[in-house]
Amino acid sequence: MPMSGIVYEEYWLVFKVAEHWIHNFLKKDFSHVYVVTKDQFNWIRLNPLNEQLEVRLMPYNKSHDIGRQIYNESGHRVIKIRTKIDPDKKNSLKLFHILSCVSITKYITGIRMRCFTPYQLFKKLRKMKKLERYGKGVDYINYIL
């Protein structure tokens, strides 16, 4: 049986303020997280909202620094990560997980770590040591702003 090999994918995690009822209980400036990724032709924004997953396409340019642009235009915090995706390994949402922007972001990116709020995800990614990354599915982390 041939092995398909591990694929590396780049993602930009964008942390921002969101206007919803739970906003009052979350850390200021960290009440929502969404994902930006790319293919050969487009930037793809995957934004988990209350009722749907919003998908937006934006023109792609190799020299374009999407993380810096998001920060400059909106002031949102951005972390760039590269994750290891093993096509032979299943990545699934657990039955006991609450569907939230964090759980959907972890599912999309393949990150395996226990966190429930956007700030917990941000803090754990920032503090993650190189040796910890392997078990969590993360290959590379770059805190942009």
55-94 residue pLDDT tens: 999 887 766 788 888 888 888 889 999 888 777 766 655 6
% of residues, the chain, pLDDT over 70: 81
CB 106 within 8 A of CB 122: no
Asked if the structure places residue 1 within a domain, the reply is no
Instruction: State the residue range of the domain holding 17.
Output: 7-143
Asked if the structure places residue 14 within a domain, the reply is yes
Asked if the structure places residue 115 within a domain, the reply is yes
> Which tokens go with 58?
């934006």
Asked if the structure places residue 2 within a domain, the reply is no
User: What is the rounded CA–CA span in Å between residue 112 and residue 105?
Assistant: 11
% of residues, the chain, pLDDT over 90: 26
Into how many domains does the chain fold? 1
In this model, does residue 21 exceed pLDDT 60?
yes
DSSP helix/strand/coil, 40: coil
